[in-house]
Chain A
Amino acid sequence: MRDLIKFVALFLSALAFASVAAVASAQASETLPGLTLLSEKSASKRAKGIEQLADSGHPSAATILNAMAEGDLYFRKRDNQLFIATGSGDAFVLTDPVSLDEVGTASGKELKKVRVNNKLRRLIRGFLGGLNLTHSDAKVRLEAASNLLKNPDPDQRTILMKALEKEGDDSVVRAMSLAIAAIDIRPEVPQEKRIAAVTTLGDSDASEVRALLTPLTGDAENDIEVRQAAIIALDAVEDRLVLYRAIGGVFQGISLGSVLLLAAIGLAITFGVMGVINMAHGEMVMIGAYVTFVIQEAFRSAAPEYFGLSLAVAVPAAFLASGMIGIGLERSVIRWLYGRPLETLLATWGVSLILQQAVRSIFGPTNREVGNPEWMSGAMELAGGVLLTYNRIWIIVFALAVLFGVWALIRFTSIGLEMRAVTQNRRMANAMGIRSARVDALTFGLGSGVAGMAGVALSQIDNVSPNLGQSYIIDSFMVVVFGGVGNLWGTLVGALSLGVVNKFLEPVSGAVLAKIIVLVAIILFIQRRPRGLFALKGRAVEN
């Protein structure tokens, strides 16, 4: 009897629990129009779902669409229930898309991502543009307005006008007026309004303007006056663009120059000051890049929140690692070969192959991922779509800092003084009590260490693979020989001028021919001035 009561009680409580669960799941599935369509297989059905969702005007619609574009929208395989999910592997945190409450967790195997392709992303962005125009954050509003400029949608015009009236931020006002102008240039709009829109667009430096105006300048445009206005506006835009592009070109040239400079500074010491033809120089750069990789891995696993600092740690670490290897190389191989350039060349080339294969055996032949910290990603827009990317700006700063540091070290420290003394007159330096063998090792270590620091910077823009160094060795020698052996300022001027010349040739001749032209020009230049741009003078050079 007792058992029976127990059973009934159990049964009842189970029933109650089930009904509670049913209520809960009913709440979760309180659905918005279009929501169920999002998990459909066909892209056009999902597009319809997005449209219905956006038109519903529900407060969570923007969040759902945003999650979908970001790839955070999932559906559960067993019941097609939609969730916004964050996390990875076995631990996804599920958020109900309508109420935006956390509703539990799930493993990755139970969920399937709602697929988006470029077309859907464009669609979502267009709708988000309309929904975000009244967002509290000015940045979001600005992005929404510029999204509408990219995909002008006549349906959004009234929303735009309303938002414009309330808008207080200057840059957002400008972006919104542009977006309205982009809608107003359509052929259905009356003539005066169109011409006004064309003029508004023509005054702007936004990169989308050319794409909007160009179609109006062709034969497809029937209204002669609009066509005239568009031609004038486009001309003005193009004129301004010439200046911006020139600035962009100089920047790109300096940036390429700074990369060449970084790769060459180390060589300016080992080859320029010591006269060692070091074919393994590129591998020192490569080792610096791998040190960056190792340190970033350590940061990722130990302290991901400080990832932005990983490069700051990597710079001294790479200097030490490459420098130690350089000293080891000098002590074991190069010191036996001083005064025998051909043998040095062959021996260091062999060492470069050994180092490459060693790295390949340890880290594998494939590329390793080195991340860009937040402060090195993205770009600063100059105007008219001409961008200065942050990683390039930082590399220019870094290259100049390294150059200045090396110069100061050689100029002002006692070890620098000893280095100069040994290079200028080894026997006299010996007689003065300088241990020239130790100075040789330290000088070579310094050159290699600087190459390692270059590797940290290059890991930000190039492959981190065992072949990294090879691609820079020839350029480095070119810079040092062109700038004048034994002269740091020559290296600076040489690198920057090669970079700028290369970048201005590239659009005219193509990348392949530009490289050839620069190489031929350098060969001819060396024929005229065998000691490069800034030749050292005096007795030291003669012997």
Chain B
Amino acid sequence: MKSGSSKLKRWAAAGLMTGALSFSSALASAQETIKVGILHSLSGTMAISETTLKDAMLMLIEDQNAKGGLLGKKLEAVVVDPASNWPLFAEKARELISKEQVSAVFGCWTSVSRKSVLPVFEELNSMLFYPVQYEGEESSRNVFYTGAAPNQQAIPAVEYLMSEDGGGATRFALLGTDYVYPRTTNKILRAFLNAKGISDADIMEEYTPFGHSDWQTIVSRVKAFASEGKKTAVVSTINGDANVPFYKELANQGVKAEDLPVVAFSVGEEELAGIDTGPLVGHLAAWNYFMSVETPENADFIKKWHAFIKDKKRVTNDPMEAHYIGFKMWVQAVEQAGTTDVDAVRQAMYGQKVKNLTGGVAVMNVNHHLSKPVLIGEVQADGQFETVWSTDGVVIGDAWSDFIPESAKLTADWTYPWVCGNCEKPKFAASY
């Protein structure tokens, strides 16, 4: 009986303890959380790409909380829906920063949405992690660009096409959707190709509206352009939705990758999920990440993603890895700074290192761009990419392209005494 009563007491004590604990943890989560803003469209045209990134962020935050949170506090995700509406992006960004008081925001996909939120982040001095490959020609004190700059994607891809392994192309058709990313990228590519001795007569540039679905004319024109005696390749900056009809038309018109390879900068595993890739085998894409790369980190990431999303068929892609790297760096920087204060974390961000999912180590540079490896992959019949070429090490992201004369002389450096994203001469912090 005695032993029984002591057991009872112990149970009671344990019960009280856990009760108290859960009470205090409830208190902690109510008061002392670190808020992280997620600014991705969950409706409208861009939902197709951005919803996945919202889910990826939720997974990363859940994972971090399972490891004990950050600075002893739990992370709390604040999800808003800017609905693919560019002005609404700015409004929602302001809401996240001013009303929700988030410590950092992860979000945006299109360049136009980034340009729309940029003044808000600069005005309120907050921090945005932008995970998508983009046209470069920008470096803001308040944005960390975790996607590829043109020199980490477009230039190596074209170099590969010109190499012997890539088919030795000397003629290029640049196809794109009509907005800022394709236009700027193609401007850089044209300058690069000219520098390599390819004349303007051997470059065809063509733009289509968003969501263009009738590719018959353009594909036949590209075929005619390619049948003039020089080895031709297509460089595609066609955006999201228009890609499926484009690839279907290529397949139906019998364009084979061996004869006329298409290298795309906006087509990843997620975009291929809507197409029968059988006829597209051999067409190329350039990214910093492919789901098919075999490393323990990547296997672990894919496993976690499948467990989180509860669907074994879902794919992972490059912008997800960008968020993975950006989030990990932010966590490390906050731990190092011991605070979530934006200015302190920004200083701690420089030089942060995170292991890439595809091997090697990503480093955050003072121009707010990452050093990452560049991979070129060929489409496989199962909708995955197979790496056919990769850089030996990592490539430093270049904010201002060296191939556009007016930006070649600009430097981006946000450490003392450089405190400017687009300066020719050093400016001192005091005078900025």
Contacts and interface: CB of A to CB of B under 8 A. Distances in A.
Given A214-B229, A215-B229, A463-B244, A122 B217 contact: no
7 contacts: A121-B257, A207-B223, A213-B229, A377-B252, A387-B253, A506-B217, A511-B212
A543 interface: no
Identify the 6 closest CB pairs spanning chains A and B, nearest first: A367-B274, A214-B229, A389-B252, A252-B216, A511-B208, A365-B47
Contact of A360 (B47, B206, B221): B47
Contacts of A249: 217
B165 A117 contact: yes
Contacts of B42: 365
Nearest to B211: A471
Interface in B309-332: none
A259 interface: yes
A352 to B, nearest CB: 12
Given A121-B282, A389-B249, A511 B206 contact: yes
B214 A259 contact: yes
A465 B229 contact: no
Nearest to B257: A118
A208 B228 CA distance: 9
Interface stretch (B65-73, B129-137, B378-386, B413-421): B378-386
B159 interface: no
Contacts of A245: 220, 224
Contacts of A357: 43
Given A210-B227, A369-B275, A465 B241 contact: yes
A369 B274 contact: yes
A335 interface: no
B209 interface: yes
A42 B386 CA distance: 14
Interface size class for chain B?
35 or more
Interface in A221-266: 245, 248-249, 252, 255-256, 259
B224 A385 contact: yes
A454 interface: no
Contacts of A367: 48, 244, 271, 273-275
A211 interface: yes
A490 B251 CA distance: 34
Contact of A463 (B226, B241, B388): B241
A512 B209 contact: yes
A466 B42 CA distance: 12
A115 B386 contact: yes
B259 interface: yes
Interface string B30-48: 0000000000001111011
A366 B178 CA distance: 22
B216 A256 contact: yes
Nearest to A123: B258
Nearest to A88: B382
Contacts of A377: 251-252, 279
Given A255-B214, A378-B254, 14 more contacts: A117-B165, A117-B282, A121-B258, A122-B167, A211-B226, A365-B47, A368-B274, A371-B276, A386-B220, A387-B252, A463-B244, A471-B213, A511-B206, A511-B207
A72 B216 CA distance: 32
B60 interface: no
Interface string A332-367: 000000000000000000000000110010001111
A379 interface: yes
Interface string A372-390: 1000011100000111011
Most B CB atoms within 10 A — which of A117, A119, A372, A470? A117
A211 B228 contact: yes
Contact of B178 (A213, A372, A512): A512
B245 interface: yes
B107 interface: no
B51 interface: yes
A465 B274 contact: yes
Nearest to B214: A256
Nearest to B315: A366
Nearest to B252: A389
A52 to B, nearest CB: 20
A460 B249 CA distance: 10
B244 A462 contact: yes
B221 A150 contact: no
Interface of B: 42-45, 47-48, 51-52, 164-167, 178, 206-209, 211-214, 216-218, 220-221, 223-224, 226-229, 241, 244-245, 248-249, 251-254, 257-259, 261, 270-271, 273-276, 279, 281-282, 378, 380-381, 386, 388
Nearest to B167: A118
Contact of B378 (A118, A208, A248, A360): A118
B258 A366 contact: no
Contacts of B241: 463, 465, 467, 471
A210 B232 CA distance: 14
Nearest to A390: B252
Interface of A: 43, 71, 115, 117-119, 121-122, 125, 150, 207-208, 210-215, 245, 248-249, 252, 255-256, 259, 356-357, 360, 364-369, 371-372, 377-379, 385-387, 389-392, 460-467, 470-471, 503, 506-507, 510-512, 515
A507 B221 contact: yes
Nearest to A378: B252
Given A119-B165, A207-B223, A389-B252, A366 B229 contact: no
A137 to B, nearest CB: 19
Nearest to B232: A211
B165 A369 contact: no
Nearest to B216: A252
Nearest to A213: B229
A379 B251 CA distance: 9
Contacts of A118: 166-167, 257-258, 261, 282, 378
Contact of B227 (A385, A461, A464, A511): A385
Contacts of A360: 43, 47
A379 B253 contact: yes
Contact of B252 (A214, A365, A371, A391): A391
B243 to A, nearest CB: 8
Contacts of B270: 366
Contacts of B271: 367
Contact of A511 (B45, B51, B165, B218): B218
Contacts of A386: 220
A512 B227 contact: no
Contacts of A71: 281, 380-381
A208 B43 contact: no
B276 A512 contact: no
Contacts of A212: 229
Contacts of A252: 214, 216-217, 220
Nearest to B275: A369
A510 B80 CA distance: 38
Given A118-B257, A463-B241, A210 B228 contact: yes
A512 B208 contact: yes
A461 B214 CA distance: 8
Contacts of B252: 372, 377-379, 387, 389-392
B167 A365 contact: no
A462 B229 contact: no
A502 to B, nearest CB: 8
A348 to B, nearest CB: 18
Contacts of A43: 165, 388
B227 A211 contact: yes
Nearest to B47: A365
A211 B60 CA distance: 52
A211 B212 CA distance: 29
B380 A461 contact: no
Nearest to B242: A463
A464 B251 contact: no
Given A118-B378, A119-B165, A510 B213 contact: no
Contacts of A470: 45, 211
Contacts of A372: 248, 252, 276
Contacts of A503: 216-217
Nearest to A392: B216
